[in-house]
Amino acid sequence: MSRLDSVIRRLQAQRACIDWAVGEIAGRPGPVLELGLGNGRTYDHLREHLPDRAIYVFEREVRAHPASIPPADHLFLGDLADTLPAADLPAPAVLVHSDIGTGEAASNRTLAALIARHLPRLLAPGALLLCDQAMANPAWQRLAEPDGVARDRYFLYRAP
């Protein structure tokens, strides 16, 4: 598969998973977390589909499109190893979208393990996690991908 086809498949999977999750959290209180802002495309999609919900973003260095940068009071800037353990949210998160892939398998595993270790304290019961990397937390229930998303293209979990 070409790299172009691969990125198209990844973006389609992201959109399908986010759109599914938006329906799943309807009526449940709590903010949304975006781990990895990148160019801001998924943040913008979340913001469009959840206009009344607070979205907190964790990003090492902001390089997003100017129209897709969160307000400063909703941005945790710096390395996840520092910002995630120190984060103080006004309420537990009901949805997390994590897009932290670097293209290097060892780095991805290390970062996913850090997230799986520090994220649970920020989650509401039954929170959903949508991840581009597998997360190893035995307390989280792995969910089936929405229709049209290939197995292991995206990883969906529910917190206890």
Span 132-149, average pLDDT:
94
Query: Which residue carries 């089936």 as its tokens?
Result: 144
Mean pLDDT in residue range 49-57: 98
Mean pLDDT, all residues of the chain:
95
d(CA 10, CA 126): 25
Classify domain 3-158 at the CATH superfamily level. Answer: Vaccinia Virus protein VP39 (3.40.50.150)
**Domain boundaries along the sequence of the chain:** 3-158
Q: What is the mean pLDDT of residues 122-138?
A: 96
Is 90 exceeded by the pLDDT of residue 151?
yes
Distance (Å, whole) CA 115 – CA 106: 14
**pTM value surpassing 0.85:** yes
> pLDDT confidence of 14, banded at 50, 70, 90?
very high
